[in-house]
Amino acid sequence: MKIVLISDTHGLHEKMLYNLPEGDMIICAGDISNVGSIFEINQFTQWFSKLQYKYKIFIAGNHDFGFEKIRKSNEIGISIPHGVIYLEDEMVEIEGLKIYGSPWQPEFHNWAFNLPRNGDQIKFKWDSIPDDTDILITHGPPFECLDITPTNQRVGCELLKIRLDDLKPKLHVFGHIHDSYGIKYTSDTLSVNASICNERYQPINKPIVVEVSEVYGEKVITYVDNG
């Protein structure tokens, strides 16, 4: 199975510099809109629903205010088309892969899905991630992992890093910090900052492709290519 990873399209999904590569699944790690209006969100979900992937999964990000206001995707206003999976602190299992998505991040200006850094609320969100998660999707990065801003500050979540030390998912997908686009391997997890937009909100980064294979009966996820 090939999985295409994107994030932080900010309403520019139809203006991405690079075409989406072929694959079996696409995952978007939030910030699908610019100002979080219902109109913007529905534009993305309609576009997303028409992509030629068997599985289409996304979460919200700090720009996607509409989801925070409405809270649940089946309420009036936001349209989640058939065949599209929206995850908000929940899991879906696909072909034996357990995939969990959560939009929260430590306080970042006055955006959506903010929780106090190092507080009990955000700790509870991370503690709620099931221990058997194979693929974790969050909007923001953990501390010291693809989380450096243009001013050379590390802004990832310390408590998410601690949870990941125990969780050890096969793949962790996020965005949020555009300038840290890329991949990082640890002994247990492939971490991907899949931001499509750069710091100037230009959609110039390539989608990132990973592949799921089976080795001695165990699923393994490896980096394939940037688009």
Whole-number average pLDDT of the chain: 95
pLDDT at 144 over 60: yes
- For the segment 92-121, the average pLDDT, to the nearest whole number, is 95
Of 219, 5, 28, 7, nearest in space to 132 by CA: 219
- Say if residues 59 and 87 touch (Cβ distance below 8 Å): yes
Asked: is 2-225 a CATH 1.10.150.20 domain? The reply is no
Residue 75: predicted pLDDT: 52
Supply 140's token pair: 């923001």
Residue 187: predicted pLDDT: 81
pTM for the full model?
0.96
Task: Please return the burial class of 121, using the count of CB atoms within 10 Å of its CB with bins 0-12, 13-18 and 19+.
Answer: exposed
- For the segment 194-223, the average pLDDT, to the nearest whole number, is 96
Of 54, 44, 46, nearest in space to 6 by CA: 44
Q: How confident is residue 45, by pLDDT bands cut at 50, 70 and 90?
A: very high
47 vs 207: CA distance, rounded Å: 16
What ranges do the domains of the chain cover?
2-225
